[in-house]
A and B are shown apart, each in its own frame.
Chain A
Amino acid sequence: MEQQLQKLIEEVCRYEEGTPQRQKALNNLLIIVQQFPGIKKDGHQDYLEALNKTWEWFCRSIHKFDNSKVDSSESLQITLTRWINGYLKWRIKDLYASDSHYTISLDQPISNDEGSKVTRLDILADSQGGSTSLDLLDIKIAEIQKSEKKTWGERVAKFIEQDTGNELKRRCIRNNAECNCQLLAQRLLLTKPSHKIADIARELNVSNQTIYSHWKKKCLPLLKEIGMKIKD
């Protein structure tokens, strides 16, 4: 592990920024370094942004990491962790400074909803403060969509249904007026769950490929254009 780490750092430093050799070595180095258990954690809601900045800095600056002055009794992993934390610590300080917060102790007990005392660190272990979990995503999306008075999607749906200028209806495949962009948009975009191209093809007695290419080449560019107009 130590040897591999040493080898990868040398490999990264041997090549100039932007070269494929450096990019490949960096990728492998990151995979190892990100697993270091000593990388500093924090309960601030923007901690992950600080961490992201740190990895960006790490990739840019790894050639400045100087291992030569290090006490040989220490492992490379420990030295490197300390070097990374030295930067991350300041990015975390920036977060608290911009909040004009003071540093909160992770071990200080705080009350949760049930009235029992937990520490900030306990909460941190359960969830990342402020972010959305997959289980709660449905609720969150329903909320944000409701708050947008009328979504753009709804406006487009209305346009497709009305098609006042017959812009969509007019675009049909040769010899089959029924197979037009309005019908395809209704079936493929508006109906939930959407119809399959194969089913529509059977119903209208045309081939899958004809419908697919009409949809792709004629209808979608038109819808895109209409969408632009509606947004403006």
Chain B
Amino acid sequence: MNSTQPDYLQIPLGKDAHQKAEEFAAEQDGLDKGKQVYLNTLAVYAVNNYLKWLSIETALHQSDSWNWSTRTFFDIADLMLPNVGRIECRPVLPGEEVVVLPQEVTQERIGYIAVRFNKQLDFVEILGFVPARPIINNSEIIEINRFESIDILIDIINRRKMKVNLCQWLEGIFNQDWESPELVLAGSFRSTATMTRQYQDSQTSSISRAKVVDVGRQIVLLMELTPTNSAVFDIRLRVYPAENTLHLPQDLQLTIFDESGDACMNTQAEIANDWMQLEFDCQHEEKFSVELKLGEISIIEEFIV
């Protein structure tokens, strides 16, 4: 092995993997399509094994690649992770330097794993992971050197599992780190009375919880949820400085992303802002994520209504 080459994790492709790939390729019409399905199947099978090693839950049978009609119409190699989402396991053949994403896999994906085959098709190497967010709307070609550590995938999976279920808030079930605003803001320099008045001004049916996050500076995220008569919830998201500071750090950015990772709202702190907010509404079961970003550091929280 060339010592300048980084070592990658290897997954053996046993006879079981090849049997599955054969079965799926046999359904296809034409050599190229058959070959595509064969390699996609091996890639998904291998990643599935690998995630099992790490005790990450997978659901092959909920994956489109394991559904014969979708794999026939699309060039897909997705693997479903329950309560998390789909990852796409793209095959990379010897000598290939880029991963080309077919249009059909540019949506509904958490991100992409590059799976490199050797000529013998007896092992694959995991080259790395790229989250979908920077890919979408940008480019459908990813150079191999842009794939990053699998740690990023592990973090995303963990974060999505910790997803805050806002519906449970209505039943009085709160995630540990989301506390009553009075408690969180008690230590704040700003008078608690003004703060609480601000959110109690709204309807009595709304529920507020706050959490301190760290983006290099401590920031309080305040989430106010108001059920309406229909299946829609009004959501107000406010950001305050924590610690003993009066103002938000300048250039602090607050962004809301929809389920597919598109940014839908954004606001940015200017000089001497003492708070900022975004207001929007959400359907029942809608998922969104909130990003707080200051310089290079960003924190993402995932929510489901």
- A interface residues with partner B (beta carbon < 8 Å): 17-18, 20, 23-24, 26-27, 30-32, 34-35, 45-46, 48-49, 51-52, 55-56, 58-60, 127-128, 130-135, 137-138, 140-142, 144-145, 147-148, 151-154, 156-157, 189, 192, 212, 220, 223-224, 227-228, 231
Contact among B55, B70, B119 for A18, CB-based, below 8 A = B55
B115 CB to closest chain A CB, in angstroms? 14
Contact in complex: B9, A134 (CB < 8 Å): no
B151 at interface, CB cutoff 8 A: yes
Given known contacts A138-B31, A153-B28, A23 and B11 CB-to-CB distance under 8 angstroms: no
B297 at interface, CB cutoff 8 A: no
Contact in complex: B18, A59 (CB < 8 Å): no
3 smallest A-B Cβ distances: which pairs? A153-B29, A49-B14, A227-B69
Given known contacts A59-B55, A231-B68, A131 and B9 CB-to-CB distance under 8 angstroms: no
A130 to B121, CA, bound (A): 11
7 contacts between A and B (CB under 8 A): A30-B53, A32-B7, A34-B9, A55-B53, A132-B121, A134-B117, A141-B25
Contact in complex: B72, A227 (CB < 8 Å): yes
Contact in complex: B13, A56 (CB < 8 Å): no
Contact in complex: A156, B15 (CB < 8 Å): no
Contact in complex: B72, A153 (CB < 8 Å): yes
- B interface residues with partner A (beta carbon < 8 Å): 1, 7-16, 18, 22, 25-35, 38, 49, 52-56, 68-70, 72-73, 93-94, 103, 117-123, 150-151, 154-155, 157-158
Q: Which residue of B lies closest to A46 (CB)?
A: B15
Residues on the A chain within 8 Å of B14, using CB: 46, 48-49, 51-52
Residues on the B chain within 8 Å of A137, using CB: 35, 38, 121
Contact in complex: A30, B9 (CB < 8 Å): yes
Residues on the A chain within 8 Å of B52, using CB: 56
Additional A-B contacts beyond A27-B54, A56-B49, A145-B25 (19; CB < 8 A): A20-B157, A24-B151, A26-B53, A27-B151, A27-B154, A34-B9, A34-B10, A48-B123, A51-B14, A131-B121, A134-B118, A134-B119, A137-B35, A145-B28, A145-B31, A153-B27, A153-B30, A156-B29, A231-B69
Residues on the A chain within 8 Å of B1, using CB: 35
Residues on the B chain within 8 Å of A31, using CB: 7-9
Residues on the A chain within 8 Å of B70, using CB: 224
Residues on the A chain within 8 Å of B72, using CB: 152-153, 156, 227
Contact in complex: B120, A128 (CB < 8 Å): yes
Contact in complex: B35, A138 (CB < 8 Å): yes
Contact in complex: B154, A20 (CB < 8 Å): yes
A17 CB to closest chain B CB, in angstroms? 5
